[in-house]
Amino acid sequence: MPLGGSMRTQIGGLVIATSIVQLANGFFGTFFSLRVAIENFDAAGLVLSAYFAGFTLGGLRSGKIIERIGHIRAYAAFAGLVAAATAVMPLRVGSLAWVVLRAIVGFGCAGIFITTESWLNAKAPPTERGRVFSIYMVGTFLALALGQLLIARADIEAAAPFNVIVALFAVALILVAATRSEQPRISASAALPYGVLARAAPIAVVGSGMSGLVSGAFYALVPAWMQDAGDTPATIALLMLVAVLGGLAFQIPVGRLSDRFDRRIVLASLGLGFVVTALITVLAPRSLPIQLPEAVLLGGFMSTLYPVCVAYAHDRMPADRVVAVSGRLILVSGIGSVFGPLIGASLMTRFEIDGVFYFMAAAALLLAIVAGLGPLRTPAATHREVPFEILTPQAGPLAHDPLDLLDETNPAQ
């Protein structure tokens, strides 16, 4: 049934609040990469990786916090944590301090997204859940894209950008804290022993790790390289904007292909597409009219690797394990995102940006080979009734209710 007026208001307010968070996060990610390059820290890769380490830890621990204090207070606590850590950063400039503070920001952001997605799942009727999450994810991509536009007007060396980020998180906190929505219930999920998913869907595990490796390196290091190459903040903002929009544009067509054909073949094709585009980026002249289409393709191929992996894993696992499967893939992707900037930064010091693109291409090629060999070893899995969804690795392990999914995949029950 369609959403009622009160329910639409509750869900709409939550989506708006989290879109504001993503607006701040999109700006923060690119701005932080540029600021770290200016500070010229010896441990720049570690500083850039800290967010993903905190995010991964948040994905593991925030569920317990939400269960203990409820969604509204948890959202306020996570947003307040991010705002406090961000406010301290211009006061304590140093590699060690920023590693700790940026990890805290990552932890808080993971908590915000898990709180939001489990809240949306609990409040949206099963028949409307797909539409609600599609709106939420489109809002996420658009907010991330708009966040890049703030870079053009930012004074990278000043404290003002940190203040803008704090203000945006505070606005999101106010919107959620002022809601009159009731607390959603938390559903228990089936446990997933380590090794079960790797044996049932090894391609999904490898793909999630490679997806995190590639996207972590790209978004952490490309802006810093462009700044060192003399590009203006407006140019950097434009290129990162089209990369994010490319990711959004690829979601629906890739999703349709993934639901229609063997997902492993689709995954291998995406990996090869990224490899070819990365090599063209290295070899082609570096002018903006050429770089913009390259960024669209890189963002598109890169952003669809993870959701195809998630869909394939769900094809191979029982419906009551969907929550645990999602959580495990988030963990794998998060670990990849930690190592991406670390490895990429070390390569960039020796081989400049070409080394980073070759590294990302090698990771995507490994995924393409593993996925492409899959159909030769095992037959294609039967696609479940739960199709490809627009996803990013931030989708937390509480984002789906396995009991509802069982009802949806077995209408006769």
- Among 186, 213, 231, which residue terminates a domain? 186
Do 298 and 321 share a structural domain? yes
Cα–Cα nearest to 240, from 283, 169, 288: 288
Contact 41, 95 (CB under 8 A): yes
Do 120 and 15 share a structural domain? yes
Q: Which two tokens stand for residue 87?
A: 């406010």
pLDDT of residue 409: 37
pLDDT of residue 396: 40
- Among 143, 164, 186, which residue terminates a domain? 186
pLDDT of residue 392: 61
Do 212 and 176 share a structural domain? no
Determine the Cα–Cα distance for residues 324 and 402; give it in Å rounded to an integer.
Answer: 9
Q: How would DSSP label each residue in 9-67?
A: HHHHHHHHHHHHHHHHHHHHHHHHHHHHHHHT-TTHHHHHHHHHHHHHHHHHHHHHHHH
Determine the Cα–Cα distance for residues 4 and 377; give it in Å rounded to an integer.
Answer: 49
Do 213 and 173 share a structural domain? no
| H or E element at residue 332 | helix 322-377
Do 89 and 8 share a structural domain? yes
Do 162 and 197 share a structural domain? no
Do 321 and 182 share a structural domain? no
pLDDT of residue 376: 62
Do 175 and 33 share a structural domain? yes
Determine the Cα–Cα distance for residues 236 and 244; give it in Å rounded to an integer.
Answer: 13
Residue 19's domain comprises: 1-186
Do 254 and 140 share a structural domain? no
pLDDT of residue 32: 93
pLDDT tens per residue, range 11-62: 777 888 889 999 999 999 999 999 999 988 888 889 999 999 999 888 888 8
pLDDT of residue 398: 39
Amino acid found at 265: I
pLDDT of residue 1: 42
Determine the Cα–Cα distance for residues 75 and 118; give it in Å rounded to an integer.
Answer: 11
Do 146 and 265 share a structural domain? no
pLDDT of residue 387: 57
Determine the Cα–Cα distance for residues 145 and 140; give it in Å rounded to an integer.
Answer: 9
Do 276 and 181 share a structural domain? no
CATH number of the domain that 55 lies in? 1.20.1250.20
User: Domain total for the chain?
Assistant: 2
**CB proximity list for 187: less than 8 A, separation 6 or greater:** 323, 401, 402, 403
Determine the Cα–Cα distance for residues 328 and 60; give it in Å rounded to an integer.
Answer: 9
Do 34 and 18 share a structural domain? yes
- Among 186, 201, 219, which residue terminates a domain? 186
pLDDT of residue 3: 52
Give me the residues of the chain with pLDDT under 50, please. Answer: 1, 395-413
